[in-house]
Amino acid sequence: MNSNFLEFINKDIENKKEYISVMPTKTKTNRKKVNQFIDETIDKYNNYRSSTRNYLLAKAKSFDIVEPDKDNHLNEKLENLEYVKFLLNPTNTYVEKMGFDSLLYQISNYYTFNFKSLNDIINSFLDKFELAGIVLTADDFTYTCYVHEYMEVFLEARRKNSGDYDRVAEVFEQIYWINPEIIEHVELSFRKLIRVHEKKLNAYINRLQKEAMEKNGIANYAICLEKIHSLYIDIQFANRETIGEILTKAKSGEIDIEQYLEESKVRKQAFETLVSPDSDIDDACASLEKLLANVEEYRNYNEFYPIFKDFRDEYSKLLDLKEEYKGLKNIEIEIAKKEAELEKINKKIFGTHIGNFYFSKDLKSLKSESVMLAKEIYELFKKYDVEYFKDRVIKSISNTITVADVLNLYYSYDYFKKLVIQKVYGLDNYDAIIQYSDNFDLFAMNATNIIISGVPIFQDVDVPRIIVNRYRLNNINITVDDLNPDLLNLLTNKINLVLRVTKIEKSSIHMDQIWFVAQVERIINSESKAETM
Amino acid sequence: MKKENDVVDFDLSLLSLQELIELYDHITDFLQYLENNKIENEEENNE
């Protein structure tokens, strides 16, 4: 009966089960005979399984899709343009372009987050100065005598370049018990040096800007943005899911291919909702791809909504500011005054040339005074940071400022972005903050964001309703409920299902072939599991 | 024990994709059935 082996096997199995069920089992000989029959049948069926398995594997392999590797040159181009955009960003200053703000965030949160190496942070600061041709020496670190002592030893260890910072650790230990705020004062030192060397650092940034613009053929920031926008669209197109990728996802179980079969209720419902029977399928798919991007943008908007809400709550009162706000200027004056006082005390201390642990009573009290003053200045800098960002906000604030503007503002100021993330999400774990920060940056960098450019930060906007109404015009019948943040995955799965089914139906591979390949993968996986047990 | 010498010829290319999977699953299920229906060996010294 070669015409249908499945029928033969089904009949054979039925017969053998029947036979086994009636075999006598009373005596030992009976039972031996049963087991013998079962063993012989097992041997035979193992052969059947092996042959069938080989055939399945060969058949599945025949449906393999070979696709060329995706070209990375667009991503490389984007990386270059993002670098130019970063350098030309008109929103921030040389401090952010040098990356000093990220380092200031790390050093100011050193105690909260237990970084494994303060040395790495300090070395990073020094590296950045050196990039700009500024080689700092111990004489640059005179914020307090303790900062001077610590940095003298640090710079010596750095100069030796042996990786041995044991002496630095010893001196840190000695200083710490007299001056527990030593790290904060090292931070103050770097803050001052960043201000002092503004001209040289700006010159370095200007040089980098010029080089980057020439290398990438960019005349100005606006042109850079245009090119990035265009590249994003090209990359989105190039990264569209291929049939090979769909096949891989079906094999891995990432896609439940049963839902893609013609008789599937899930497939029917997705098409009913998303594709009008009158519409051209290509047009429908083009709209669905836009909808997918909009849903992703809306997902990100929701995720970072606490940041936008915080901005609104913190800064809406600045809209009513009538006179010139002098908060930043006032705190700068206060800090300058205190630093001048500290400078006077330091002149007396550094003038004595006496080591740390052998000093007169006057010297001891001068050192204590310098530490107390540095502490006060550190507290002033906390207020300074608040005023600095407030000053930035005031420069850009209006009734019509959008979510996109706020996104760009925080993206431009890494230090304040991380502070607000820490605050609104209640995070005290550095890795978690970095995760949020990186995701925030990806959202901010997406040149195809479109919804948030029209959402004013100081007004209530029903974003789901805006999306729903837009796609109603294309006969795509999603509802506001579909855009519930907890149900967005369901919606994107539905959209992806329609897009994938359409793609498969236009390709050379059939849906049942993809189903078959997924089943063979299931079989191989369950065999591997059985073998390891 | 007499070993069966019969060789079964089959042409799996005549089966549809669904039937191929069904075939494999039925064979596997039956093998499990056979294992489950083996009678446990008694101790040798009870013979």
> pLDDT by residue (tens digit) across A454-507?
999 999 899 999 999 999 988 898 999 999 999 999 999 999 999 999 999 999
Q: Say what the alpha-carbon torsion angle A195, A201, A205, A211 is, to the nearest 10 degrees.
A: 180
- Cα B38 from chain centre: 13
Cβ contact B17–A59 (<8 Å): yes
In the predicted model, is pLDDT for residue B1 greater than 60? no
Which pLDDT score is estimated for A84?
96
What does the DSSP assignment read for A77-143? HHHHHHHHHHHH-TTS-HHHHTTHHHHHHHHHTHHHHT-S-HHHHHHHHHHHHHHTT----GGG--S
In the predicted model, is pLDDT for residue A211 greater than 70? yes
Which residues of chain A are within 8 Å of residue B30 when distances are taken between CB atoms?
13, 16-17, 45
Residues 6+ positions from A238 with CB-CB distance below 8 Å:
A70, A71, A74
In the predicted model, is pLDDT for residue A176 greater than 80? yes
Which pLDDT score is estimated for A360?
59
Q: Are A396 and A409 in contact (CB under 8 A)?
A: yes
Cβ contact A40–B23 (<8 Å): no
pLDDT > 90: percent of chain B: 51
Closest Cα in chain A, distance from residue B8 (Å): 9
Cβ contact A5–B12 (<8 Å): yes
| pTM listed for this prediction | 0.85
A residues 493-512 lying closer than 8 A (beta carbon) to B: 512
Residue A405 has, within 13 A of its CA and on its CB side, a CA count of 18
pLDDT of A328-348, one tens digit each?
999 999 999 999 999 999 988
Closest Cα in chain A, distance from residue B44 (Å): 11
- Nearest by CB to A52, from B12, B30, B47: name it: B12
Which pLDDT score is estimated for A357?
44
Which pLDDT score is estimated for B4?
46
Cβ contact A6–B23 (<8 Å): yes
Q: Which one of A201-210, A236-245, A350-359 scores highest in mean pLDDT?
A: A201-210
- Nearest by CB to A53, from B11, B24, B35: name it: B24
Residue A353 has, within 13 A of its CA and on its CB side, a CA count of 0
If you average pLDDT over residues A390-410, what whole number do you get? 92
Question: What b/e string do you get for A410-421 counting C-beta neighbours within 10 Å, with b at 16 or more?
Answer: bbbbbbbbbbbb
Mean pLDDT value across chain A: 92
Which pLDDT score is estimated for A321?
78
pLDDT of A133-168, one tens digit each?
999 999 999 999 999 999 999 999 999 988 888 999
Range of lowest pLDDT (A65-74, A344-353, A385-394, A469-478):
A344-353
Taking Cα atoms as reference points, which of A407, A380, A409, A405 lies closest to residue A392?
A: A409
A residues 18-77 lying closer than 8 A (beta carbon) to B: 20, 25, 28, 31, 34-36, 38-42, 44-46, 48-49, 51-53, 55-56, 59
If you average pLDDT over residues A272-286, what whole number do you get? 91
Which pLDDT score is estimated for A323?
77
Which pLDDT score is estimated for A391?
92
- Residue of higher predicted confidence among A122 and A323: A122
pLDDT of A5-57, one tens digit each?
998 999 999 999 999 999 999 999 999 999 999 999 999 999 999 999 999 99
Closest Cα in chain B, distance from residue A35 (Å): 6
pLDDT > 70: percent of chain A: 97
- Nearest by CB to B14, from A4, A41, A56: name it: A4
